[in-house]
Amino acid sequence: MAKKAPRRTAERILETTLELFNRFGEPNVSTTLISAELSISPGNLYYHYPAKEELVTALFNRYEQALHELLGAAPGVHDVEDAWFFMHTLFELVWEYRFLYRDLNHLLSNNRRLETHIKDALLHKTTAFRTVLDSLAYEGALQITVSEREATATHMVVMLTWWLSYEYVRDPRHALEPESAEKSLLRGAKHVLSLVLPFAVAEHKGHLGALLMAY
């Protein structure tokens, strides 16, 4: 059996950096800690990523690409089951890159490149949520006006973007640990989708309510 090719050092660095950022928070992780965790020299790390900011940017680029692909599925949401799956998948991505959400204000103040990209990500999320609401309304699952749609899409983005910060404030010692992932994701998806419940028509409101109650 052919041996698998070893992962490139640059790939290993990013994977380890993401794990450390998620666990301890980006401000608390130094390049020295990253190189020690990988058992490589600081010089080897700097060869691939000359500054910590470049590690942040590389990870954000990965997140941004995954987010773009996921949000592109918004037009395929036709019922409340689709909406639940879409939201849960989105929260899984948030959890995978949770340091971006927990440390967002700090990152923006230290990485000027992220400013425009974060704004673009917020706009893309808002557009995707409007698309979901439009699709559900078209399919007869929602009765929602244009102004209600705009406000609800914005509320959904705000809750999605700052949900993990809320979880962290509630329980700083455990909220962002891996063992808390499932409950945190389900709570977040449930509360974001709850914003849609007041606009659901009777038949779909019961179904959506049952989905929310189950979690």
Contact 175, 136 (CB under 8 A): no
Residues whose CB is less than 8 angstroms from the CB of residue 36 and which lie 6 or more positions away in sequence, other chains included: none
> What's the whole-model pTM score?
0.88
Q: What is the pLDDT of residues 146-202, one digit of tens each?
A: 999 999 999 999 999 999 888 888 888 777 788 888 888 888 999 999 999 999 999
Average model confidence (pLDDT) across the chain:
90
